[in-house]
Each structure stands twice: as structure tokens, then as C-alpha cells.
Structure 1
Amino acid sequence: MVCVHETLEFIFELLIYLFKFNTMAAINKQALQTHLDAFKLPDSGVLLSTLPIQTHFQWEADPVRLIFFGDGPTIRMLSHHQQALKNHVLQVVRDRDVQLIFSSQAPPQQESNQKKKVEKIQLPYIKNVVAVASGKGGVGKSTVAVNLACALQKAGHRVGLLDLDIYGPSLPTMLGLNQEPKREGGKAIPVDYHGLATLSVGYLIPADKAVIWRGPLVQKMIQQFLTETAWPELDYLILDTPPGTGDVHLSLAQMVPLSGVLVVTTPQKLSLIDAEKSVEMYETLNIPVFGLIENMADVECPSCHHSFQIFDQGGGEFLSQKKQVPLLASLSMSKSIRESADRGKPLYEQSEQTPFHEGIDKIVTYLENILSQNV
């Protein structure tokens, strides 16, 4: 028999839930926008309404997402006050958590009707486009991308490797290539590396010269690298993207038919925080996140061969469970990985089998399984 007290308690909880739901439903976008416009930057007192910012609301998300769009300097300035801005929003949205996302590229859905809608680039000769991303630099993203491309090729696939890390291209060094692509019929010919079709902005700009480009130029470069390059027929095109969640990633999501994304992190808390942002961004943009790759998970002492952790342990598994994204591999640090990259010869190309090879092979097997219908 059901207890009267339990029944009343259930009804009370249900009423609280309905009250919260109806309260949130009653808050319309205009009310929140008006509240946002009154936000003042803590250090200068400048009103948000005076800044060149557009705000996009995602009410159905949990937590509620507010995406701020604007030019790079303004977005960077606003993001420095993220916590104060979130506290300001929570004064209105009291009963749900809020996530703030800052982007330096305008949302397609808020563009003027007169502007041409960004359409996906057609890549009929490329079956799968896989981006390798990371929230933070220095976690070994390029190492993973290069060795993954080599492993896929060794598995019998036709593979291309495109370096989109505009401000810090790694491909020329890691592959030992220093030649400008030839042109034929108005298109660039990818530089061959033992059968890999490769392209990098580093092939075009001297290593000691900095690339100082803003969003529109970056977007144009991505488009040219994909459409004005004579890519051969490929089973996989691996994209080595820049760290973070900036213009390149938004342009990729807008223009490129991505099959999915691999996110590289280390077990360190700082890296995990930014890796989670990267996962969140791609999920927000409806791009499948295939999985996480935990790099620098441990290191083996060259004397006693005992393994120990420099960047903590279990971080990849923790983020995997939190975001419900599979952890595909945990890769160890080793001197040989650094030496092979500096020599321009990826470690996977060496004949000796190592735990690093085994980890990369796990990623290859996973991609083959989920993308088998496309190859």
C-alpha cells in the first residue's frame, strides 16, 4: 500500500518541477537579451549592448547555451569576463545551468538574407574526412595525426594528410619535406610522402615567417586547400587542425563534409578542461566526435623500465565517462617519438613494433569499423 506521506512528497516534487519548467518557458529570448545588454565589463564599465556582438540562444540544450559571435579582439576581451557574465545571466535563468561559448565567426543562421549561405564543399573523390583536434596546444595532436595517416596507409587505404594548423604548421618538419607544391591545370598537386598525399601552409611559407591572418583569410585558405588542390581518390583525408575552438574549426563545420573528429588530450587537468570544450563545440555544431585519444599517458624510465605518470593518470577515462565519448587509446611518451619527429620520419614508419604502434592501430581499427560502409 502506498504511503500517504510518500504520495504527497511525490506531488510536491512534481509541482516544483512544473514550476521550474514553466518559469523557464516564460523567459523569452528578448527578456534575456535585454538583461544581457545591461551587463557591464568589470574592468571598464563598457555595456555589452555597445559591443559588436551577436548572441545565439540554444534553449533546448542542457545546460542552456549562449553563443557570442563577434570579431576576434572583441570576443577575446569578452571571454576574459566569462564568470562575471555567467553570473549575470544566472540572475535571470536561475533554475538551470548555463554554458557560454565565444566565437569569432558569425553564425550562418543570423546572416542577412542577402548574404549567400555557406554551402558544403563537394569532395567526390574523398570518402572520409577525419579531423584531429585538441583544446590545447602541445598535447601531441600533430604527432597523432601524422602517425595515424601512416598507419591507415599501411593498412591498405588511400590516405591524404592536410595540415590546417595555419599558425604553427608541423607537417614539413615531421615529414622532412621542404618543397612547394607543383601546379597543374590551375590546381596544386599534393606533395607525396611515401604514397601519402600531403599539403601544408608550411610548404608555402618560410619556416621563420609568421602567418598573420584573420578569419576570412583562414576560411578562404581552407576552401582553396580542398577545392583548388588535385587530391587523388582517397579513402581517408586526415586533417591536422590548430588547437582550440576558433575560426578553422567553425569553418570546417560550415564548409567541409566531416565524417567526424578525434580529440587529443593529456591526462592533465588543464588539458582535459580544454579538450572538453573541444568536444562540446563539435557536438554543438552537430559533428560526430569519434573518440578521445589520451597522449603522454605515462613514460618509461630508460634505466629500470618502470612506467610512471608525469601528467597524472586516469584523465582520459574520466573525460570519456563524463562526455560519453569512447577513449580509443592511451599513448605513452618516449624519446623515440620526439626523435622520429625531429628527423622527419614518423615513428609508425619504423619497423620495430612498440606500444605506441599498438595504440595507433587501435584507432585505425575503430575508424575502419565505424566507417566501413564508406571505404
Structure 2
Amino acid sequence: MSALLASVATYTVVFTLLAATAEHLSQPGALARALAAHRVVAAPGPVAVLVIAAEGVLAGTGVVALRAEGDRGLRTAVLLGSAMLLGLYAAYGLHLRSTGRGGPCGCSRLELPMTGWVVARAAVLAGLALVGLSLSGSVVVVGCTTRPGPPTDRTVLRARGRGADPDELQTSALILSWIAILLLALVVSGLVRQVHALSSGMVQRRPESVGLPPGTPAPGFAGLAPVPPAAPLVLLFLDPDCGTCAQVLAEAADRVGRGGLEFRILYRDDAPARAAGLPVTVLAGQAELFDRYDAVATPFATVVDRSGRVLRAEPLGSRAALRRLLDEFDNPSPGGPGPAVATDRQGGRA
């Protein structure tokens, strides 16, 4: 029984870290953007790189350890490191929840919210790592089987050319079945939680500490709107590598011709090529305004009234979130403003 419990716990932790590494590498900026939105660590980018590297090293070493017969020390090191990393995840998430900080969890390529389920999942995985650590000598590794015998010599290698041992096949099948059941339970639980979060509006919940408060004079307003706008001005802070930002940009372009709102699209560095042909005002090289508007995550929206004062500032989790925001402020009039024009880094006409 101890071999089954230790094996299920160890394989689940290693496979989860492997999947997490793949998710983060498929969207490298997601974790950094989430950490920036949380406003807990001083250097979100380097911290994100270290976390992803730690996951990759532990996952890769874990795969090796599960194929290395008799290398209990390597498995112990992997499980100890995994327990520390996953425990840190759980503690960090609990801190965010207790302090009321919102934003995405950064745990996958999708911008999912930091919910109690995310914290509980990390805590469960940390517990599994500790279980595997306490029973690391009983883990069934690939290419071997366990047989009754002295505690110092419980593992018997298969002889080369020998057929598969029925006991080994049964044990391996049982281990894989439990791993599949556990992972499926985690996935289903996560989906249920995320659906509940989406239906209750948790994804769009505004962190109160992010962005400029309403009534604040908009920094650089004269440069953003040399001619006083005839309607509220929507500033969208985007990133070229952000998938949600591309959807937000498309939604803004769709709303331009309707009147009632004016748009400025800001990028910290260079603007992507897809923004060049859209009928919106695009401003590249706006790192200073990103800081002055406290746009710590992308996509981020700030609505400014015609007198140059902030009406609303909040991060956006989806295209639908921008649509809801615009619907609150969009009051089309027959003489509404026409489409904006593309601009260069200094805000001049292209």
C-alpha cells in the first residue's frame, strides 16, 4: 500500500510540474504580468523567470529520478524542492486572498483569476510532495518492480530479455489509474471553480490598489489629446505579446466608428504590425505613461473625461470586459467624433 501511495503522490507532482512548465513556456509573459498586477514582488520579470526555471529543473530532474533505479537521493531532492515551491505557491496565493489583491493567478497561459481553488490546489500538491518525500524509498520507478525483502534491498531489476512481470504490470496499471483519477478530479474541480468565478464576475473584479483613482488629473492629457476631445477618452495599455490584448485591440477598433468615445492605444515599447492598419490612434514607446497611469498589467484601461480627469481605471481580463466598460460610458451622439488616425511615437500623424 505504501508503494502505491508514494508512487501516486510522486508521479502526480512530477507530471503537474511538467505540465506547468509547458504552460508557462507557451506564454512566457503571463506569469510576469500576473505578478505585476499583484504588486507584491519588486521585480516581476526576474521572479517569473526564476519560478519557471525552478519548475523546469524540478520536472526534468523528477523524470530522470523516476527512471534511475535505486537513486533515492535524487528523488528525495526533487520532492523536497517541489514541496517547498508548491508550498510557496500556496502561501503566496493565501496572502493575495487575505489582502484582497485581485488579478490573474499566472498559473496557466489563460488569464484565470486568483481564487481559493488555486490556493487549495497548490496546497494539495505540496502535501502530495511531502507524502512522496516521506515514502520515497517505496516509489515504483520505471523499469523496475518491488518485491518483498529486506528494507535495504526492496527493488529488483528485470533481467534483460525477460518478459514483463505480471505483478509489475498490475502495480504500474494501478499507479497510472490513480494518477489519472487524481488529475481528472483536479481538472474538473478547476473547471467548476472557474465557471463559477466567471458567472459571478470575479474575473472582472477591480483591485482597488491598481490604477489612478477617479477624479485624478490625467497625466500627459495635453499630449494625448492636443484638441480637447468631444467625448470621454479611453486609454488602452497593451502589450504585443499578450493574447488578450489583441482581442481588446480588435474590440476598440470595432467601436471607433460608432461615436461616443475616443481611443488611444498605448504600448510600452514598439507597437505590433497588426495595429498599424486599424482606425485607432496608436502610440508606441509610452513606458513613462505606463508608470504614471499605474498600468501594472496588460491589458489595462483608463477612461478620462473631456476635462482631463480620470473616470475609471482597471485591468481587463477579456474582450467582454472591455465591451462592458465601454457600454457604461458610450453615449453616441449624431455629431460624434470620427475615426482616429495612426500616430508615431511622439503622437504626431503618421
TM range (shorter): under 0.3
> Quick check: which one's strand share is greater?
1
TM-score normalized by structure 1?
0.24
- If you compute each CA radius of gyration, which structure gives the higher value, 1 or 2? 2
TM-score normalized by structure 2?
0.25
